[in-house]
Amino acid sequence: MAVGRRIYLKRNLPDQALIDAFKTVPASNVGDVMGRSCGMDPRIRLMSKPLAQIACGPALTVKTCAGDNLMLHAALNIARSGDFIVVANEGGSARSLIGEVMMAYLRHTKKVAGIIIDGPMRDIDEIGEWDFPVYATGTNPGGPYKEGPGEINVPISCGNISVFPGDVILADPDGVIVIPRLDAAAVLEEAKKFQAADERKLVEAINGTSKREWVEKALLEKGYEIIDDTYRV
């Protein structure tokens, strides 16, 4: 087996009903019920202007050498409608991996849910206005090599978070959350409960009925001293 040069065509995928249900839950609510340890590094940020606030789809993972997009081109060929393409780039920033032509193919021909690149893109003057979820670390006019090696549909690290093929990717203006496929149904149920509670808290914050007693209790339990005086040297 050519380790480092493998392209797996098959993935275990979550149910489409699950994907659709996640599209109603903010990434922040999901992150909070997952121990706040599932969000990609904020250096990966939204670069476009999707009309829908929340995007969701199964991960199609791409492992590249820094600044090389041969595997990304291969992923374009096998991507399916609704996929969320997730690209590991070894932390590279010297060359962009994708521009307007490839992105247009993903958006219009393949109709993927979106793309996340742990590296730069280019043609931001056009792509930045698109109704299509694009996440990247920034821009760079320099183009990529097409040499490899690399792999598709293997476990990767993107934005300091592990991503397996078929994991649920949830993205909104706050950033990107990765939900392990086998945990997704349970996470969704907890996130929906958290979302309902959060919406109640927002109403209370607006109408002045928020319950804030827990703050002082928590401070005392953690050993803070509350001093009714000014600081003196």
CATH of residue 58: 3.50.30.40
Instruction: Answer whether residue 226 is part of any domain.
Output: no
Instruction: Answer whether residue 128 is part of any domain.
Output: yes
Residue 123, judged by CB atoms within 10 A of its CB (0-12, 13-18, 19+), counts as middle
**Number of structural domains found in the chain:** 1
Q: How confident is the model at residue 1 (pLDDT cuts 50, 70, 90)?
A: low
Q: Give which of 179, 183, 176 is closest to 39, Cα–Cα.
A: 176
pLDDT in tens, 166-216: 999 999 999 999 999 999 999 999 999 999 999 999 999 999 999 999 999
Q: Give which of 1, 47, 21, 66 is closest to 188, Cα–Cα.
A: 21
pLDDT in tens, 39-96: 999 999 999 999 999 999 999 999 999 999 999 999 999 999 999 999 999 999 999 9
Length of the chain: 233
- Domain span at 42: 16-193
- Please tell me whether the overall predicted TM-score, pTM, comes out greater than 0.85 for this model: yes
d(CA 63, CA 41): 17
E strands, 154-225, in order: 156-158, 161-163, 168-172, 175-179
d(CA 41, CA 176): 8
Instruction: Answer whether residue 210 is part of any domain.
Output: no
